[in-house]
Amino acid sequence: MDKKVMLLNQTLVTEFLLLGVTDIQELNPILFVTVLAMYFVNVAGNGAILLIVISDPRLHSPMYFFLGNLACLDICFSTVTVPKILDNFFSTSKAISFLGCITQLYFFHLLGSTEALLLAVMAFDRFVAICRPLHYPSIMNGQVCIQVAISIWAIPFVHALVHSILTSQLNFCGSNQIHHFFCDVKPLLELACGNTELNRWLLNTFTGTFAIGLFFLTFLSYFYIITYLFLKTRSCSMLHKALSTCASHFMVVMIFYAPVLFIYINPDSGSSLEKDRIIAVMYTVVTPALNPLIYTLRNKEVRGALNRKLRILL
């Protein structure tokens, strides 16, 4: 009888407590303003990019089509976590329901995997445009771009669903305090009872392999581009323009992948959770805000379209 009661208590967890970005309460007002400012830059910057990509006919090309997808994705990705982070800075309960926690976990992995795929496709788009310019219109035509975009958003559905279902089936006992500022698989596994080997294998092997594989393909595309440019391009101005475009793309890739690879390839351990929280701030708050700044500051076409739009509005 006692065993059944204990099992019942483990499976009837109704909420978790998100401990937040830091345990130092005095930092909360400063962090609140900082995170809110970054979120505003993210939404305003990416929203502006999305608007000009849609409205400016000069940007109706595969490169900017995928840039528009990235802008939309960055807004959604931050919105999964940031509003709850801001609320918890001054909340006394810091509670999130069991269903809300699993839902947040699902969309976090869905959108994170989608961004990894999108960055790989954007790198391939640049590879075809620079290294195979004569074949570019046929390879990256409008129909192909739409099909690729649908696939990019659809493929991570299964990956995120598997994580969500397996995590929701775990038994939770003891503390319901999550040492993180959002619901993710790794901190939830620290609270789980029973066998979590399958969950850990999926997190460290499948998710890690997925991330490394996409990073390798992305890196390979840029490696071929740089090699091709130095071997084939005779014009210094053309070389500079191509390298400048690729540099902004590769900067986004590095900012996105550096913290992700560290967390999902680093072996699980309770002592790493504090470090994980700090690193997670990078790809949930900072990176989505930096992307529009990188693209607008380094991309002449985007800057020109933005200036034209502002002149019309003003």
Domain boundaries, the chain: 21-302
Which region holds residue 20: left if phi is over 0, alpha if psi is between -120 and 50, else beta? left
Tell me: pLDDT of 179 over 60: yes
Q: What is the pLDDT of residues 92-117, one digit of tens each?
A: 788 899 999 999 999 999 999 999 99
Single-letter amino acid code for the residue at 12: L
The tokens for 121 are 């496709």
Single-letter amino acid code for the residue at 35: V
The pLDDT assigned to 273 comes to 63
The pLDDT assigned to 251 comes to 79
- Lowest mean pLDDT segment, chosen from 106-110, 207-211, 218-222, 269-273: 269-273
Q: What is the pLDDT of residues 218-236, one digit of tens each?
A: 989 888 888 887 777 666 6
Measure the CA–CA gap between 42 and 36, rounded to whole angstroms. 10
Single-letter amino acid code for the residue at 237: S
The pLDDT assigned to 186 comes to 84
Handedness of CA 268, 269, 271, 273 (dihedral sign): positive
The pLDDT assigned to 78 comes to 92
Stated pTM of the model: 0.85
The tokens for 139 are 């390879």
Q: What is the pLDDT of residues 140-164, one digit of tens each?
A: 998 999 999 999 988 899 889 999 9
Measure the CA–CA gap between 104 and 42, rounded to whole angstroms. 19
Fold of 21-302: Rhopdopsin 7-helix transmembrane proteins (1.20.1070)
**Could you give the dihedral angle defined by the CA atoms of residues 210, 211, 217 and 223, in that order, rounded to the nearest 10 degrees?**
-160
Angle between helices 236-265 and 98-131 (to 10 degrees): 150
